[in-house]
Each structure stands twice: as C-alpha cells, then as structure tokens.
Structure 1
Amino acid sequence: KVRQLKIAEKQKSKATHVAAAVASRSPAVVTAKTAYKTGKATTSVLPKLIGLGMAGTGLAHFVVPQAFESITKLAFPENTREWTYANGASETLIGLALSNSRSRVYGLIGVVAYVGFLGRRVVQA
C-alpha cells in the first residue's frame, strides 16, 4: 500500500506540473501575461480565436453532451452527465473571458484553475 501511495503521489505531482506547463505556454496565456505586466489591453486576434474556440467547445457540451461523456467519465465516473454540463459551463465562461482583452487575465486564472482541477480529478479517479 505504501508503494501504491507513492506512485499515486508521483502521478498527481506529474499531472499538476504538466497542466501548469501546458497552460504557461499557451498563446492566450502569454498574451494575457504581457497585457497584465504592461497594463495595456491587447487586441491580438489569436487570444480572441482561442477564447471563442474554447467557448464554442463549452457550448457544444450542451448541444451534444454524449460526444463529451466518454472523456468526462475519466475524471467524473459518477454523475457524468451533470459534470459534462458543468464542464461546458466552465469552458464557455473561461473562453469568453479569454476572448475579451479586459478580462483575459481572469480567463488565464480560470484556465490554470480548470486544468489543475481536471488533472487532479483524473489522477484521483
């Protein structure tokens, strides 16, 4: 049991580091960091497209939830449909925040928190 616990801890740690690394290299994240540091709103097209793409994917969770259930079941084996809708709502809100230059920093925070939460759930499942 001790060995299994150590393996689980290592996997959890790896998932957290991978999620943070992916989020930190995202074009939307880089742009949001620059906007935050300089205090200037950015009107770059790429963060808007990424945000709108994420928002569109979030809305798709409501239109075709069965398409996301097999993925969602990995992290949420119980109440999968409800979690599919919750994930869709989260992705929609985060995507909209990323697409707007004024709220991009909050979208960045949302992405990091969301990826961390999902990574933790997958490791725990």
Structure 2
Amino acid sequence: MSDWTAEELDKIGAADELEIAALRSDGSLRPYTTIWVVRVGDDLYVRSFRGHDGAWFRSVLRRPEGRIRVGGVEREVAFEEPADADHGAIDRAYRSKYARYGGTYVDPMVSPGAAAATLRLNAR
C-alpha cells in the first residue's frame, strides 16, 4: 500500500519523465536516472527498457528504496516487483501516454523483457 496524495498521483502520472535514484548500501543516493512513468489507477509503474540488465534497475533490486523527483514532487519511495500487476493495463498506459514517440521507443517498453522489469513505486 502506498501513501500517494491525489495531487502527487496526478502530477507524476501526467509527467513525461521521472528522475529516479536508488539508495546505496551506505544510505546515500545513487545518481538520478531519467525514465518514463505510467499511472494505472492509483499505482505508478516504471520499467527498465533494458530489462534486468539496466544499471538503475539492478541497483534498485539490491536495495529497493530510493527517491523520485518530477514536476515539483520529490518523495522517498520503495520499489516493489508487483506480482499482482496488470501488465496488459501497464502496456496500454505506455502505448497511450508515449504514442507520439512511435514504436522505436514504445515497443521496447512493452516487450517481455521490459515487462519482466516492472516496478511499482510506493510512497514512503
């Protein structure tokens, strides 16, 4: 369960890009990485277009905590690999939100490898 406010969900869900940083083992933040984010209902999802090979994704798996910033919102988050995610709905959200970028960019985000690297962002 997350603690997003309605305003945060709206701002983050509407933003084209999100900056994401995982925590290191010493508690400091890794450098921010810019990625796409989608909203499905009251949940926010990110994917690694490189699947499990993405550097930021591997760092999140080591310590599933960090920070995001976007559109005036900056929050501590927990990263969750959601067993209950509706990947069809997430795919549709990516296709709809980012359609203007075309298949060259969107298709990798809805590929099986990227779907396997889906994370739900939970506000902390």
- Whether these two folds match at TM > 0.5 is no
Give the greater-gyration-radius structure (CA): 1
Higher helix proportion, which one?
A: 1
Higher strand share: 2
Q: TM-score, normalised by structure 1?
A: 0.27
Structure 2-normalised TM-score? 0.27
